Structure 1
Amino acid sequence: MKRMQWMVGTLVASLIGFSAAAGAQDLPKITIAMSGWTGFAPITLAKETGIFKKNGVEVEIKKMPTSNRHQAMAAGEVQAIATTVDTHILYASSGVDVTQVLVLDSSHGGDGIAVRPPIATVADLKGKQVAVQYGGVPQFWLAYVLKKNGLSIADVQTSNLQPSDAANAFVAGQFDAAVTYEPYLSKVREAKANIVVTSDQTPGVIIDTLAFQPDFIKKNPKVVDAVVKSWFEALEAIKADEKKAFELMGKDVNQTPEQFAASARFVRWYDKPMNQDYLSKTMPAFAKEVQDVMLDAKLIRRAPPSLEAMATTDFVK
């Protein structure tokens, strides 16, 4: 009991700004590429509260469009990427090898397709103008939803907009439909728009993971281990002081703690047992299904060299 109290106390101290000195290990600084998606927020929390530093790793966060992250990785500008399984497959198919080491979150209503009357069903999207980000999960998820409803992405007219821009344009009266995610989807919800489908109706399809390049993992296993450990500690910090955590995570995306809490309702963060189960049991079959959808929708031209090599359980055991 005393040991547990000490651990919780340490996490709370971290949450209010405590930053322990890095250990004796001389670990390099790394940069993680990601977006403002609510599911990634514990990464920001781990940085802002000193959890990464406590575990002996210096982390910089770079917000950038999905389509630019693998190019930045190939150029050595970033060492890790937080994004969806389908996007990692896109990267690997284009020649940037990545290995997923950690499941971050799954979307349970955090992604949605907003529509205008008279559109009432997914089938009604045929021939309509849809704002959707290319080369990322919005485009993949749109293709997945359309396929499940007897259509293909070729049956709609798409325009490439970032999720935040898609939400803003839709609320401003542009496009017949828009694909976006939290925290931007909240703006669409507040405008009382009709959301014809959310990720809550496609459970397990929008899954975010953290990946490094295979060579980096081989040369820097302690760095990877420190990052993974910090994620799990950030989740414990949220449990220890949710109000303060939501304040810090919301501030990063210009949300109040209350607004962030509303966004977080649609996200499920993955702890260590969930990671162990997903990476060992679910990932292999799911990755194959995602690959097939992407090939069918022509989102990728060819399959990655090896789906099996794209994930490891080594750091969540």
Structure 2
Amino acid sequence: MTASLPRRRFLRAGLGTTTLLLGGGSGCSSSRREPIKFATNPWPGYDPLYVAREKGFFDEAGLNVSLVDLTSLGASRRAFERGQVDGCGATLVELLLAADQSGIRPQIAAVVDYSNGADVVIGSNTLAGPADLRGLRVAIEPGTLHIQLLALALASVKLTVRDVLLVPMPQNAMPAAFADGQVAAAVCFPPESNRLLEKNGKVLFHSGQVPGEVVDTLVFDSSFVARRGPEVQAFVLAYYRAMEFMEQHADEAHAIMARRENIDVAELRATLAGLHYVSRQEQRALLAPDGPVARSLDHLQGAMMTLAQLRQSRSLKDFLIARDLIAASGVAA
């Protein structure tokens, strides 16, 4: 999704869980409990969590939250699959892979943003567009939304991923690989995308050309939601409280976020221009059975099945999204 920050279970836990979540309000004791361990990678969509921590919103909600800083989406997903964290920031790619490869039941607590130009395919400035990638080496981080965006870029010129040479590497290794000529292009987002542009890179394709296709979510394990559903709801509400703070006190919030991303405020704001934060009020429509997330999931799943990255297909309802809970959170005070 935009600038160079790496991203990329509320779902049906059964009627009993939904009742617990909806009926329990915040349901949090004022005493500090076992931590909620939540993994994130650098990406502005998740940064309101750090605003919530710094401003004490988690504490005020009675939550003991441990934010686990990891370097990539893949690292966050692996920690989630291994049970090292209770939840993580994830794109739909991580959601599908976690469900397919680990047997856990990930549940989406909220969609936090969608990429609106932040995620990009960057190539040498000698390339005119995606069509020129045929036969060239393209860097992607395996198991991330990179494959989704690359497939979309190539499909726009009637190519497929089989028409390029995929070079797997962590996103933070891409600037050096590009500068050294090891790859002709890379799929990435800020801050690494900014580094590639500084090395005479050129944007060949961006997520703004496929609006609503690339989303970021807050995801929890279904067993955790079953045990501690009211805290998950309070966690999401603290996120949205941080979002409101960001709207009212942009300078202070952006300074917190920039420190988290290890970039300056100007670069952060440039990155924010490439994404759309999803409000509480937008959740119900976004997560409707025939809504944008369901359509995006189906589109992505088809590409991943073609690449043999998934063993079976799923629909959004298989992830048991508690849309009623999320909508209730959206109107909560």
TM interval, short-chain normalised: 0.7 to 0.9
> Residue 48 and residue 171 in structure 1: after superposition, are their counterparts in 2 closer, same or farther (change >3 A)?
farther
2:23 is equivalent to residue 33 of structure 1: no
- In the alignment, the residues of structure 2 paired with residue 127 and residue 203 of structure 1 have an alpha-carbon distance, to the nearest angstrom, of 27
Aligned ranges 1:106-255 → 2 under 5 Å: 106-255=114-263
User: Percent identity over the alignment?
Assistant: 24
Q: Which residue of 1 aligns with 2:60?
A: 54
Q: Which residue of 2 aligns with 1:309?
A: 318
**Is the contact between residue 94 and residue 144 of structure 2 (CA under 8 Å) also seen in structure 1?**
yes
- In the alignment, the residues of structure 2 paired with residue 61 and residue 279 of structure 1 have an alpha-carbon distance, to the nearest angstrom, of 26
> Residue 117 and residue 246 in structure 1: after superposition, are their counterparts in 2 closer, same or farther (change >3 A)?
closer
Q: Which has the higher contact order (CA 8 A, sep 6+)?
A: 2
2:261 is equivalent to residue 261 of structure 1: no
TM-score (norm 2): 0.83
Letter in 2 for 1:179: V
Match of 1:78 among 64, 72, 85: 85
**Is the contact between residue 167 and residue 180 of structure 1 (CA under 8 Å) also seen in structure 2?**
no
Q: Which residue of 2 aligns with 1:285?
A: 295
TM-score (norm 1): 0.87
Query: How far apart are residue 172 of structure 1 and its match?
Result: 4.7
Q: Which residue of 2 aligns with 1:16?
A: none
CA RMSD of aligned residues (A): 1.9
Partner-residue secondary structure (3-state), 1:220: helix
- In the alignment, the residues of structure 1 paired with residue 81 and residue 172 of structure 2 have an alpha-carbon distance, to the nearest angstrom, of 26
- In the alignment, the residues of structure 2 paired with residue 260 and residue 144 of structure 1 have an alpha-carbon distance, to the nearest angstrom, of 26
The gaps in structure 1 that reach 5 residues or longer are 1-21
**Is the contact between residue 39 and residue 76 of structure 2 (CA under 8 Å) also seen in structure 1?**
yes
- In the alignment, the residues of structure 1 paired with residue 305 and residue 85 of structure 2 have an alpha-carbon distance, to the nearest angstrom, of 27
**Is the contact between residue 114 and residue 178 of structure 1 (CA under 8 Å) also seen in structure 2?**
yes
**Is the contact between residue 81 and residue 98 of structure 2 (CA under 8 Å) also seen in structure 1?**
no
Query: How far apart are residue 229 of structure 1 and its match?
Result: 0.1
Query: How far apart are residue 173 of structure 1 and its match?
Result: 4.2
Q: Which residue of 2 aligns with 1:300?
A: 310
Partner-residue secondary structure (3-state), 1:114: strand
2:30 is equivalent to residue 24 of structure 1: yes
> What's the CA shift string for 1:28-82, capped at 9, x where partnerless?
3111112101222112211222111111112222233333334322332100111
- In the alignment, the residues of structure 2 paired with residue 244 and residue 211 of structure 1 have an alpha-carbon distance, to the nearest angstrom, of 27
> What's the CA shift string for 1:184-234, capped at 9, x where partnerless?
222233444211111111111110011111121121111111111011101
**Is the contact between residue 144 and residue 293 of structure 1 (CA under 8 Å) also seen in structure 2?**
no
Aligned length: 295
- In the alignment, the residues of structure 2 paired with residue 178 and residue 285 of structure 1 have an alpha-carbon distance, to the nearest angstrom, of 26
Query: How far apart are residue 236 of structure 1 and its match?
Result: 0.5
